[in-house]
């Protein structure tokens, strides 16, 4: 008899919990929907802000990557600098260049190099 009562109470508890859960899901679903829209709008605004600065960030990344590669692969010219004080590198063909803000190599003639200030 005790087992029958336990089973009946358990079944009643599951029924009540299932009914209650269904109501919570409906309310939660609406809240999630509103929250998702708010997050979507915020993400869109953030993406626009990032897009405005994307060119600057991409250029800086390219510049840093190119300078890092140049420092490892090519020889650094210690006694001379570029026309505006840039670090000068010498490539495998003995050409002189510096890395500009866009990350590109700008080749210069040796006559255009300036003595490094001490």
> Could you give the C-alpha distances from 62 to 20, 55, 57, 75, in angstroms and in order?
57, 10, 9, 20
Interatomic CA distance for residues 74 and 81, integer angstroms: 15
pLDDT digits (tens, 9 = 90+) for 14-59: 555 555 555 555 566 566 666 656 655 565 666 565 555 556 677 7
Domain positions in the chain are 2-115
pTM for the full predicted model:
0.52
Q: Residue 42's Cα: distance from chain center in Å?
A: 17
């Amino acid at each position: 008899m005790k087992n029958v009562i336990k089973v009946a109470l358990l079944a009643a508890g599951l029924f009540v919990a299932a009914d209650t859960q269904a109501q919570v899901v409906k309310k939660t679903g609406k809240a999630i929907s509103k929250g998702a829209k708010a997050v979507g709008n915020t993400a869109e605004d953030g993406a626009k802000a990032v897009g405005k600065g994307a060119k600057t960030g991409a250029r800086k990344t390219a510049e840093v990557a190119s300078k890092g590669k140049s420092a490892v692969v090519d020889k650094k010219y210690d006694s001379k600098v570029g026309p505006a004080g840039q670090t000068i590198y010498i490539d495998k063909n003995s050409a002189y260049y510096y890395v500009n803000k866009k990350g590109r190599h700008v080749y210069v003639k040796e006559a255009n190099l300036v003595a490094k200030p001490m």
